[in-house]
A and B are shown apart, each in its own frame.
Chain A
């Protein structure tokens, strides 16, 4: 059974927010729109976004990590938002595992957003309907788009290709491979929701230079008659022993 999802590579995400506004731009005029903005040009502007990037610091100076953390609906295998919905508006599709909201059934009661441990559902303040990431369901099957473009807007936008889209149930998909080989992990697995979206952790590339690698026989100092030698004034055995 197919389970579409995003695998987000924190090793390369620079927090540029391209996914955030690309998502908004595609979806506000798409099947899941409109996505309202309140006070768009006044105090405390706020609006409906399916995807947000949180930035936080880990550790203390100078051993600080700055982490950019994109977050959207994780399309859980066992989504707690579905059973709590009194009208059946919140549902998980059998064919591809995408969790969606049927707006015609949604009464805006917010049970689902209370049930979601990840805080990724947003009630559109103008429509009074619950909204969330659809994995751009109106793009990914749209045959009017070139095949290359049949991906979520956030995935196409991402300048660091930090968002891998695919079927996490297919062991041969790029997404599954990335999870397997790069230590992909789920958020808060202890809740038993089995999020389909995964995150790839940071990896550090370090370098080890051994002392004998610094001064080699082809050292250019030799060409200029300056083979590296200790300073003549530093102590030697001759200064201390008389055999």
Chain B
């Protein structure tokens, strides 16, 4: 059914397509796209060359957006579990939206009037946390989080608690000016296109790229050097790199002295209640009472105690001193030295498998490049202490890391070590190093705090603050008077005090067990909690269906909103069909995780290019409708009538406070659209975004683009536009007094909250103010001779985990996954290339196919994440490779671990942040028997196709769009 003949296509009339611009959502990258329409149908999608994020390029996923619209798994109707049938049986009836809203409003109203925390809202990588979080706050439930606890909260928290910013949306490597780039661990999809664009330019400019990773795939393939490392040991490597850089004097002393807390004096009297906290000058000006600055330096030039940042002074970074009252003190840097002393390259070699000589060489490369290839940009700026600088300095060494470091139970300290290494090299918010993206940097830690206890959760009342935040002190924890958790996921409790993104991975287990309490309604948006967004998948699926002794479901009501028939929809009582990204309005808000560039804030929107399918309704509209019906204050006028017509109206007119001028979008504010960041609502805001490539990019003056933690001009600008409350400098926390405050509480040293007795030792150990290395918790409690291998996942660039196995083109690239094993390791286990084999952990086992790979560290096995699917999920056929040959590693990973010396079970997570430790699992491998079925295990009962989802899957797809000149 082709059209013009290729015998002479040049002579044929050219075709003009209708082009609409919007923002991609085939992964979380958020590139600008052009959707080319032929007679109203999508003919082609490519990158928007006028978009700052992707500059015209697109990835395999983005270019396959057409096939998302063709997916056989599209939900088209709201559905309710058929009365009298069991949950999970797949029997549903169609229901109207009016019935949906009436039913939900009635149920949720009762919960809000009695006990709002019985309603829990957890979302996937939804890119609308500003709205979903606000809905939870307005409802008054603390039981809200997105998927960050499962994904990379260690990366966010470890970096934010150290330098006030982090990777991906919050900052990244300045590869345009960098000379040496080190990527550690899995990071392929964060960032996607911008990282690829930058990496190729970097390499063409002659930059040197070192990849430290157990596996050589993706970006690592083009690294100039691959350094294989054992999973979960990156902390040891990073600490040894710090050790060597300091031993050789390759650190940027000037940067450390002025811009970090290296020179500030820490109390060393072990009997003092303030032990390990900074000595405070009672006469000094705190500047900001929430983040007091009145600390001391020991001035090297006068050999005297002076207030920090005294003009003309230069702090000693080493040694021991005494305050006038005799209190012993040490500079924070000396404490770091004491800590690093035993972390030699030889010590690290024995843990991470990287030869000591390689560690030394890498440290020298980093230190010498940072020092000898300095960049001087002729940009004048003024620092927070009023000193004027006529140039900006750059030390061109940059780093990138994401989940590979984060998804371990020692990830927080590993990432603190990385942030400290980056700081030692003097690379923070400087050209060629790490650069922040607005609205970062934030205070350390940021101002937002979670609800501080049960009293914050009241019937018919919004929460005072947001449900998630950054505790700075035990007083900020969300616990009751006995130190017990208030949240269903136990976030911000003594078990995981700094769980800034919540612990979505424990919600179902906790709710099923009724620990800390049972809930009533669980609303899941775009998260596949019955498959790859959960650990211990097989048992969690049983929990979703399990009933108590009273014969009622342990989780009484489960609502799932998704655009597709996923594994999760099978466990719903109520299914809400969402739209796709091409069918709806959306915002990538500055209140959430915007797409800012190094040079200034950027936010963007989606504008629908095609009509929604069937009865599909955007989840945003569902929340606004529910908020209005429930009378949540932000959604109604004082008289109780509805405030916003729909989501686009909400986006234009919502302000964080009446008259605040701050809304979801920062661009074209003010009645005439002339204001940026802050301004009155502009009724034509959507039109202005539409005219401007759906993106707003505010470019800061050059003098505000660097050194932002301590840049007076930037800070005052940020304060003026209310992007920041305060304008005081943000010193890098080499030494974390925030951590020490929790440790002191565990030691019973300060007044205030104390951890429950059984958790004191844990809090004391892991709340170390300096990074330290410990083996992942799972290795500590596993017989590692029986389970000698680490098992991890990577994400293929052409498949965004669970989202696109329904995509006819993308699934041809990855229809099933293998377990990749080093040939030496496989042969030792008697497994041949392509053989069926078993991978077994202490928690479960999977049968899968082996693929030999010379590009994996010999003690590690790995697979592509979430390619395996449950039978018939995503409306794939019963024999689809995803279910028959593909497998999910999550079956091997427990969501809980036994607590040492106790019957208690804790989340299999980082003890500081609650980050799911799903890269910690240990396995053994063996060949499957010749008599065993040649298919993956476990298998599940095929899912039934839901009403409204197509019953016929084409045997052949001849995709040709529109009624263009048909071929004769």
Contact = CB atoms under 8 A, between A and B. Distances in A.
Contacts of B823: 61
B789 interface: no
A66 B59 contact: no
Nearest to B883: A43
A160 B853 contact: no
B200 interface: yes
Interface stretch (A9-17, A77-85, A189-197): A9-17
A174 interface: no
B9 A31 contact: yes
Interface in B915-966: 953-962, 964
B14 A33 contact: no
B249 A57 contact: no
Interface stretch (B101-109, B341-349, B809-817, B839-847): B809-817
B196 interface: yes
B812 A37 contact: yes
B63 A21 contact: yes
Interface string A1-43: 0000000010111111110111011101111111111111111
A44 B815 contact: yes
30 contacts: A16-B60, A21-B809, A25-B809, A32-B2, A33-B2, A34-B959, A34-B960, A37-B809, A37-B812, A39-B877, A41-B811, A42-B953, A43-B877, A62-B226, A64-B226, A66-B221, A100-B6, A102-B6, A105-B7, A134-B6, A137-B6, A137-B10, A138-B12, A156-B47, A157-B58, A214-B364, A214-B368, A223-B300, A226-B249, A228-B249
Interface stretch (A113-121, A142-150, A165-173): A142-150
Contacts of B61: 21
Interface in A189-235: 202, 204-207, 209, 213-216, 219-226, 228
Contacts of B15: 142, 144
Contacts of A13: 222
B57 A157 contact: yes
A215 B249 contact: yes
A162 interface: yes
Contacts of A148: 49
A151 B193 CA distance: 20
B5 A42 contact: no
B416 to A, nearest CB: 22
Nearest 3 pairs of A and B residues by beta carbon: A42-B877, A220-B253, A160-B200
B221 A67 contact: yes
Interface in B1-31: 1-7, 9-10, 12, 14-17
A125 B956 CA distance: 9
A176 to B, nearest CB: 17
A32 B47 CA distance: 22
B775 interface: no
A20 to B, nearest CB: 6
B33 to A, nearest CB: 11
A17 B798 contact: yes
Nearest to B65: A25
Interface of B: 1-7, 9-10, 12, 14-17, 38, 43-47, 49, 54, 56-64, 66, 72, 180, 192-193, 196-197, 199-200, 203-204, 206-209, 216-222, 224-226, 228, 248-253, 300, 316-318, 361, 364-365, 367-369, 371-372, 797-798, 806, 808-813, 815, 822-824, 853-858, 875-877, 879-881, 884, 953-962, 964
A40 B808 contact: yes
Given A60-B854, A103-B5, A219-B249, A36 B879 contact: no
B958 A207 contact: no
Contact of B12 (A18, A31, A205): A31
A41 B811 CA distance: 8
Nearest to B953: A41
Contacts of B806: 41
Nearest to B217: A66
Given A215-B248, A221-B249, A103 B812 contact: no
Contacts of A215: 248-249
Nearest to B371: A216
A45 B811 contact: yes
Nearest to B814: A17
A225 B300 CA distance: 10
A102 B7 contact: yes
Given A21-B809, A64-B216, A206-B208, A102 B5 contact: yes
Contacts of B200: 9, 12, 159-162
B880 A42 contact: yes
B397 to A, nearest CB: 11
Given A34-B960, A126-B958, A156 B3 contact: no
A31 B6 contact: yes
A37 B808 contact: yes
Contact of B218 (A15, A34, A153): A15
Contact of A207 (B44, B226, B365): B365
A45 B812 contact: yes
A174 to B, nearest CB: 13
B44 A66 contact: no
B824 A61 contact: yes
Nearest to A225: B318
A41 B47 CA distance: 27
B315 to A, nearest CB: 10
Contacts of B59: 16-18, 157, 159
Nearest to B955: A39
Contact of B57 (A29, A156, A216, A220): A156
Given A207-B365, A213-B368, A45 B216 contact: no
Contacts of B3: 30-31, 33
B797 A15 contact: yes
Contact of A41 (B6, B369, B880): B880
Contacts of B216: 64-66
Nearest to B961: A29
A12 B218 CA distance: 11
A187 interface: no
Contacts of B364: 209, 214
A237 B168 CA distance: 55
Contact of B228 (A22, A25, A62, A224): A62
A162 B830 CA distance: 40
Given A13-B222, A45-B811, A156-B47, A25 B66 contact: yes
Contact of A61 (B49, B64, B318, B855): B855
Contact of B361 (A35, A62, A209): A209
Nearest to B798: A17
A34 B253 contact: no
A34 B855 CA distance: 38
Given A12-B199, A37-B957, A161-B200, A66 B855 contact: yes
B804 to A, nearest CB: 11
A205 B881 contact: no
A42 to B, nearest CB: 3
Nearest to B3: A31
A101 interface: yes
Contact of B797 (A16, A39, A222): A16
A65 B822 CA distance: 14
Contact of B4 (A31, A161, A224): A31
Contacts of A24: 63-64, 809
Contacts of A12: 199-200, 203-204, 222
Interface in A80-126: 100-105, 125-126
Contact of A127 (B2, B797, B853, B856): B2
B219 A14 contact: yes
A18 B17 CA distance: 22
Contacts of B822: 61
A9 B196 CA distance: 14
Contact of B317 (A103, A206, A224): A224
Contacts of A60: 854
Contacts of A22: 46, 58, 60, 63
Nearest to A10: B222
A121 B563 CA distance: 37
A45 B957 CA distance: 11
Contacts of B875: 41
